[in-house]
A and B are shown apart, each in its own frame.
Chain A
Amino acid sequence: MERLILGIFILFFGCFNLSADLKSYAEQSVAKAIAEPARFFSELRYDSEVIFPVNSGKKYTFNMNFLPSLIPFTYLNSSFNYCLYKEGKLHTSLPQIDIAGGFGYMIGADILANASDDVDSAKIYGYHIGLIFSDSFASKTRIYYGFKHSYTSAKLDLSPSKNHTLLGVNVNSFETQFSENYLIFGVEFLKDLNKYWSINLSYGLSNQSIVYGVGWYGKWFMMGFNFYPEGVIQIHPYWGMRLGF
């Protein structure tokens, strides 16, 4: 397991010439990741969970995170935000209602498990589903809020050739999960034609965790930063595709 996580970190940090501080930071991150693997993998996948409301004039958005979920963390991921109801259509006080959902499957876990002597196989995957409500505060400003359930599972089958014991009990597999229910608050600004920026804050009810994000998105792509103050890697820059139809 440790090697698996180390492998992921090497992929992420290995391409940089690490300074002493960054190396120390990376090592501390590895320690946290080993201690709570499902939470760690959940954070890696979180960036692919798009919570921006569907743009005015669009019915749905299709999203895929390239960095860091797909590269380097090898999460095959996609998410979909569908507008169930357009703001003000039936009643002015009714906000826009979007349903959001998506999945991620880490293909690198299988590869790295093969390279590890301790782990026979590894399956790491997760999904999210949520409802996002958005209200126009002004013509170019929308406030959004909602709820999201996020789930990640990490199942490891340990190598039968190695003897792992705890209080005399043989350990041959380990399954750990991490689920969180987030309350989401955010503001979206239209800065130019098809160009938005947004800030949001998510509060995890189950683990009292906080994530806040700043994002920019346009006709094709989205980019930004997610901050995880209590996370393994505290700042996640991200870049991905976000297509509106």
Chain B
Amino acid sequence: MGRKIYLIFFIIFFIRNFAFSDVLVSDYAGEVWVRKSPLGTWEELKDKNIKLEDGFAIKTGKGKVKLAIDKSSVWLKENTAFEIESASKFLNAFGLVYGKIKASIKGISPRSRFSIKTITAVCGIRGTDIMMESDVDGKMSVDVLFGEVEFTYLIPPKEGERNFIIPQGVSLKIDDVEKPYNISLITQEKEIEILSNWDPNVKEEERMESLIEKEKDKISLKKFIAYSNNMGMEINNFVYKEKEADFEAGRTLKDINGNTVRIDQRLIRNDLNTIQLFNIIKRKDYKSYDYLTDYSKNVSGFKYNGGSLKDRVDIFAITFNFNKEVPKNIGEWQSFFDRKDVHPEWATFVSANLIDLNNVFFIGEAYKYIENRGELINNTEVVGVTQNTNERDNDVILAGKISKNYLNDIVMYNFSEKNTNNPTGELVRKSDPNVDISGSFWGLKVSKDEISDKDLFYQLNRTKYLKGANETQEEYFYLCQENYLISNDGSIRKKNDIFSSGKSVSDIIKENAIQSVNYIKKNENGPSNEDYIGAYNTDIIFIGDVPFSIFENTSRGVDRWKD
């Protein structure tokens, strides 16, 4: 028995709270009448907060009303008649017999329906703010400020669709039920009218207060749009600065030997015709090793004899000199390099170990532009020695242990063979042949062997050179070079780490580096583990950040000189 009572109370409570909507007269002013049934008589409204049941109607003369339907509101202007057909959570159906209303519909559940019927049509309101006007002749208008209205003719029209959606910002007007409807954008006057305060007892001067706030918001939005329109210029300036910054990079990583390495890389302009990619490789501690990896272990020529070092600095400079002034604006480089009258005069690639400034150990290559061949060539002509026709552009290497003062001569291609008629392999300044670049020498490539792997990125090169390209003195030495593609934690990369990584090229560039360790070794029927000019190496870490940016900007142009 008790359970049944609870159940009955629950059902009543559920129906009361979840099935029915209350339509309350929340406020009114002036002449307002209420009719309690379709056949009933109109009674003057004398109190607000009265509830309007299904079948009730309310009309205004020289008065206004605000109805509250749960969270929604409907305002009636003067000379308006409005009927309550059904008020529930799932179906709110009303009738606008004549007059003008504004409806602000909120909090309707997805399955419920809120509709207002006129003599001509039914408007299903899908939230939120609309204004409707109707008269007994069938003329009507609907202005949708926010949301949308599903419009359905009660009697199918002679032309056009019976049922359609009126979207937000659009007005529909029917002046003659026999003629097609007119549809247009909502006018500013109507927009202001809907947005104004329709509460019955608000003073006329207070009706526009909320609109002033809206206007302030509009000014903010206009500012945003103006800013967006100017954004092109802003962003282009920003990007230009970024492009300048693209030519500077820095990274800290671990090398193969476990040393922490700081690399600073930047593109600099030595003079108007010369650009240089300059890399500084700094290590606080440089650990000693016999052989750098298991791959070079016990391979003759790759033994390091220099021991551990403190505050080690290496540099690697790639320098290009052109026959024309290089534009200051990087954006113009592509077209500059693509000009047929522009070509490099020379280029150098120099790595150096700066641990002892009086004995800078360096290894370098130089290239010279040969006019009649239209290309950069590395052969004996780079040191001013006419090439033997049998040599077939065999490479020339520069190396030595020199004072730091001479390093710039090597980098800026200010050197030549001391005795070009009978080369000895010693270098002097090109600008002043009386000045020896003491400790430097050059050699011509004789042979090369290479060890590499199919899957792992490492390469061991052992290249034999003839000092001074002079066969009579027969002094040979070896450049032993071990190259590794490493991650930022110093592990050697595998093929799949790069080509099947599924990463963007720029990410691959940022996550990898090339470590190149170079030794100059004696010749003892092959490369010896003994050093040719002292227990030195150059240990270069090369990052691709700046070269990638350069390649992005200039690759089509420099393509012409790649051979």
Query: Is A139 touching B556 in the complex (CB atoms < 8 A)?
Result: no
Query: Is B453 touching A168 in the complex (CB atoms < 8 A)?
Result: yes
Q: How would residues 495 to 507 of chain B score, 1 for a CB under 8 Å from any chain A CB and 0 otherwise?
A: 1001111111110
Which A residue sits closest to B221, measured CB to CB? A137
Query: Is B232 touching A212 in the complex (CB atoms < 8 A)?
Result: yes
State in angstroms the CA–CA spacing of A192 and B224 once bound together. 22
State in angstroms the CA–CA spacing of A212 and B503 once bound together. 25
Q: How would residues 134 to 174 of chain B score, 1 for a CB under 8 Å from any chain A CB and 0 otherwise?
A: 00000000001111100000000000000001111110000
Which residues of the other chain, A, contact B450 by a CB distance below 8 angstroms? 168
Which residues of the other chain, A, contact B232 by a CB distance below 8 angstroms? 212, 227, 229
Query: Is A167 touching B504 in the complex (CB atoms < 8 A)?
Result: no
Query: Is A170 touching B454 in the complex (CB atoms < 8 A)?
Result: yes
State in angstroms the CA–CA spacing of A20 and B339 once bound together. 11
Which residues of the other chain, A, contact B514 by a CB distance below 8 angstroms? 167
Query: Is B231 touching A87 in the complex (CB atoms < 8 A)?
Result: no
Query: Is B452 touching A187 in the complex (CB atoms < 8 A)?
Result: no
Decide yes or no whether B552 CB sits under 8 A from chain A.
yes
State in angstroms the CA–CA spacing of A87 and B168 once bound together. 11
Of B214, B217, B499, B501, the most chain A CB neighbours within 10 A belong to B499
Query: Is B553 touching A31 in the complex (CB atoms < 8 A)?
Result: yes
Stretch at the interface among A66-74, A103-111, A118-126, A173-181: A173-181
Stretch at the interface among B25-33, B184-192, B389-397, B531-539: B184-192
Which B residue sits closest to A40, measured CB to CB? B505
User: Closest Cβ of chain A: how far from B18's Cβ, in Å?
Assistant: 16
Query: Is B334 touching A136 in the complex (CB atoms < 8 A)?
Result: no
- The A interface, classified by DSSP as helix, strand, loop or mixed, is mixed
Decide yes or no whether B238 CB sits under 8 A from chain A.
yes
Residues 15-30 (chain A) with a chain B CB within 8 angstroms:
20-21, 24, 27-28, 30
Decide yes or no whether A162 CB sits under 8 A from chain B.
no
Q: How would residues 1 to 20 of chain A score, 1 for a CB under 8 Å from any chain B CB and 0 otherwise?
A: 00000000000000000001
Query: Is A36 touching B505 in the complex (CB atoms < 8 A)?
Result: yes
Decide yes or no whether B107 CB sits under 8 A from chain A.
yes
**A169 with B456, Cβ < 8 A, contacts A27-B557, A56-B169 known:** yes
Which residues of the other chain, B, contact A92 by a CB distance below 8 angstroms? 106, 127-128
User: Closest Cβ of chain A: how far from B135's Cβ, in Å?
Assistant: 24
Which B residue sits closest to A26, measured CB to CB? B556
State in angstroms the CA–CA spacing of A55 and B148 once bound together. 10
Query: Is A140 touching B495 in the complex (CB atoms < 8 A)?
Result: no
Query: Is A139 touching B145 in the complex (CB atoms < 8 A)?
Result: yes
**A212 with B235, Cβ < 8 A, contacts A39-B506, A86-B127 known:** yes
**A28 with B553, Cβ < 8 A, contacts A166-B457, A169-B454, A227-B232 known:** yes
Which B residue sits closest to A6, measured CB to CB? B556
Query: Is A190 touching B169 in the complex (CB atoms < 8 A)?
Result: yes
Which residues of the other chain, A, contact B169 by a CB distance below 8 angstroms? 56, 139-140, 190
Query: Is B221 touching A27 in the complex (CB atoms < 8 A)?
Result: no
Which residues of the other chain, A, contact B552 by a CB distance below 8 angstroms? 31-32, 35-36
Checking B106, B107, B127, B225 against A199 with a beta-carbon cut-off of 8 angstroms, the contacting residue is B225
Which residues of the other chain, B, contact A177 by a CB distance below 8 angstroms? 502-504
Q: How would residues 71 to 97 of chain A score, 1 for a CB under 8 Å from any chain B CB and 0 otherwise?
A: 000000000000000111111100000
Query: Is B499 touching A171 in the complex (CB atoms < 8 A)?
Result: yes
Which residues of the other chain, B, contact A171 by a CB distance below 8 angstroms? 495, 499
Query: Is A88 touching B500 in the complex (CB atoms < 8 A)?
Result: no
State in angstroms the CA–CA spacing of A63 and B483 once bound together. 51
Checking A28, A38, A139, A168 against B458 with a beta-carbon cut-off of 8 angstroms, the contacting residue is A168
Query: Is A230 touching B242 in the complex (CB atoms < 8 A)?
Result: yes
Decide yes or no whether B459 CB sits under 8 A from chain A.
yes
Which A residue sits closest to B499, measured CB to CB? A174
Checking A90, A139, A166, A176 against B107 with a beta-carbon cut-off of 8 angstroms, the contacting residue is A90
Which residues of the other chain, B, contact A183 by a CB distance below 8 angstroms? none
Query: Is B127 touching A89 in the complex (CB atoms < 8 A)?
Result: yes
Which residues of the other chain, A, contact B235 by a CB distance below 8 angstroms? 210, 212, 227, 229
Query: Is B334 touching A167 in the complex (CB atoms < 8 A)?
Result: no
Query: Is A36 touching B506 in the complex (CB atoms < 8 A)?
Result: yes
Q: How would residues 214 to 228 of chain B score, 1 for a CB under 8 Å from any chain A CB and 0 otherwise?
A: 100110010011001
State in angstroms the CA–CA spacing of A168 and B235 once bound together. 43
Which residues of the other chain, A, contact B128 by a CB distance below 8 angstroms? 87-88, 92
State in angstroms the CA–CA spacing of A30 and B144 once bound together. 51
Decide yes or no whether B41 CB sits under 8 A from chain A.
no
**A176 with B167, Cβ < 8 A, contacts A137-B221, A166-B457, A170-B454 known:** no
Query: Is B183 touching A167 in the complex (CB atoms < 8 A)?
Result: no
Which residues of the other chain, B, contact A56 by a CB distance below 8 angstroms? 147-148, 167-169
Which residues of the other chain, A, contact B551 by a CB distance below 8 angstroms? 31, 34-35
State in angstroms the CA–CA spacing of A194 and B293 once bound together. 70
Decide yes or no whether A201 CB sits under 8 A from chain B.
yes
Query: Is A169 touching B457 in the complex (CB atoms < 8 A)?
Result: yes
Which residues of the other chain, A, contact B191 by a CB distance below 8 angstroms? 138-139
**A27 with B334, Cβ < 8 A, contacts A92-B128, A174-B499 known:** yes
Which residues of the other chain, A, contact B557 by a CB distance below 8 angstroms? 27, 31
**A27 with B168, Cβ < 8 A, contacts A86-B148, A176-B504 known:** no
Decide yes or no whether A141 CB sits under 8 A from chain B.
yes
User: Closest Cβ of chain B: how far from A159's Cβ, in Å?
Assistant: 15
Which B residue sits closest to A59, measured CB to CB? B165
State in angstroms the CA–CA spacing of A175 and B508 once bound together. 11
Query: Is B504 touching A39 in the complex (CB atoms < 8 A)?
Result: yes
The 5 closest A-B pairs by CB, nearest first: A168-B452, A57-B167, A56-B167, A56-B168, A24-B335
Q: List 7 interface pairs A-B (beta carbons < 8 Å), by A numbering.
A: A36-B504, A57-B167, A138-B214, A139-B186, A190-B170, A227-B232, A229-B235
Interface residues of A (CB under 8 A from B): 20-21, 24, 27-28, 30-32, 34-39, 55-58, 86-92, 136-141, 143, 153, 166-171, 173-178, 187, 190, 192-193, 199, 201, 207, 210, 212, 227, 229-230
Interface residues of B (CB under 8 A from A): 106-110, 126-128, 144-148, 165-170, 183-186, 191, 214, 217-218, 221, 224-225, 228-229, 231-232, 235-236, 238-239, 242, 334-335, 338, 450-459, 483-485, 495, 498-506, 508, 514, 548, 551-557
Extra contacts, 7 of them, besides A167-B485, A190-B170 (Cβ < 8 A), are: A31-B552, A35-B552, A139-B168, A166-B457, A166-B498, A173-B499, A190-B185
